[in-house]
């Protein structure tokens, strides 16, 4: 009998490239399930970061930084492709709109690499705290870059608190 766990394990251990592609694909798909907390803003919270973090915990990649870069590029290409299918003449606007998401996945992968995530797997509360901090930094940087690209208003105090709260919830989810 071939269980779903066996299927998952087979494909994630077969090759580092298959693992990298599946991580990026599953993250991109999950990131489309989203909540937009700021009225009129492009900034959104999706399940992408939760999926990314969960896959890294289940099957640590050879390089967290490479996985963050590849996943970030894959996510923005996935979103831009979706936009092009709807409005082919808006590619420049689509790139500006989605490019900041790359920064989040890069910083998240880099941050997890810096803390050496493997050391904290047996300390879930501490690991969740580190992940929440890294996610907060990544989300903050993503929003700041998006504000620069799209000339949006800066985040106020309540918005930063919301970013921090969501980072905590997603990290422990």
The answer to whether residue 7 scores a pLDDT higher than 60 is no
Question: Using one digit for the tens of pLDDT, what is the confidence trace for 109-144?
Answer: 999 999 999 899 899 899 989 999 999 999 889 888
Burial code (b: 16+ CB inside 10 Å, e: under 16) for 136-166 equals bbbbbebbebbbebeebeebeeebeebbbeb
Res 130: pLDDT: 93
> Rounded CA gap, 131 and 38, in Å?
23
More confident residue, 24 or 37: 24
The answer to whether residue 62 scores a pLDDT higher than 70 is yes
CB atoms within 10 A of CB 80: 17
Residue 19 banded pLDDT, cuts 50, 70, 90: confident
State the pTM of this model: 0.81
The answer to whether residue 44 scores a pLDDT higher than 80 is no
**What integer is the mean pLDDT of 23-37?**
87
């Amino acid at each position: 009998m071939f269980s779903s766990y066996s299927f998952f394990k087979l494909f994630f251990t077969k090759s580092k490239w298959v693992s990298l592609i599946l991580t990026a694909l599953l993250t991109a798909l999950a990131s489309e399930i989203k909540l937009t907390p700021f009225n009129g803003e492009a900034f959104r919270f999706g399940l992408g970061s939760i999926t990314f973090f969960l896959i890294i915990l289940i099957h640590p990649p050879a390089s967290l930084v490479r996985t963050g870069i590849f996943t970030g590029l894959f996510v923005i290409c996935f979103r831009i492709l979706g936009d092009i299918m709807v409005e082919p003449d808006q590619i420049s606007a689509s790139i500006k709109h989605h490019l900041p998401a790359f920064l989040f996945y890069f910083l998240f992968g880099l941050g997890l690499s810096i803390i050496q995530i493997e050391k904290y797997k047996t300390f879930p509360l501490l690991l969740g705290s580190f992940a929440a901090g890294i996610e907060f930094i990544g989300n903050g940087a993503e929003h700041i870059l998006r504000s620069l690209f799209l000339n949006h208003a800066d985040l106020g105090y309540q918005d930063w608190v919301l970013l921090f709260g969501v980072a905590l919830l997603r990290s422990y989810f």
